[in-house]
Amino acid sequence: MTTRHTPAPPGVETGPLPARSEVGLALQFWLQWIWLLPRVVYDVLDNGGDPDEGTAEPGPSKLVLTSARYRLERRGTPQDWSDFADRAIARGIERGLRIADERRDWNDSGKYRYQWKDTAAHTFVRKRYYRGIGLAGVAALAARRGWEVDWERSRDGDVAHLVLRREQG
């Protein structure tokens, strides 16, 4: 597969993001257990019972700074970050395709009055998964899977929005 992708428009920062502070990481790692239960309850209530709906993040691990991610944040190489981001992109693409299929099936059933307006496959990956490689790295990884970064929606660098690449023809 190719890693060719649509280049970022001028003014969009695509490089690796600044590393997190050692003190901030240590505090999050040790104090996360205090706010974990209220956060899980909030996510379940806020997302209607499915905290993973439409995201690239797996279950409760998105709420916890695991020891593996702590090590990655502290000493991760660009290759480590690339592997980490690639797994998150794969999960996001799988979820994005599943949700798009479910929405199309809903619309095609004809049993329901309201229809989904947007049935195109899309997903997003939060910056905590690509901090060490930046949006340019995400664009290359997504291109290998036939997806591309929606640069207009990903401008702020906080979230990489991915869309299924349209066939040229």
The per-residue pLDDT for 88 is 93
**3-state secondary structure (DSSP) of residue 153:** coil
Phi first, then psi: give them for residue 167, nearest 5 degrees.
-70, 135
Q: What is the pTM of this model?
A: 0.81
Give the Cα separation of 49 and 68 in Å (integer). Answer: 27
The per-residue pLDDT for 52 is 47
The per-residue pLDDT for 47 is 61
Mean pLDDT split into 10-residue runs, the chain, 169 residues: 76 89 94 83 66 54 82 95 95 93 89 82 92 94 94 86 74
The per-residue pLDDT for 35 is 82
Could you tell me which residues come within 8 angstroms of residue 133 by beta carbon, excluding any fewer than 6 positions away? 16, 78, 81, 82, 85, 141
Could you tell me which residues come within 8 angstroms of residue 99 by beta carbon, excluding any fewer than 6 positions away? 53, 54, 121
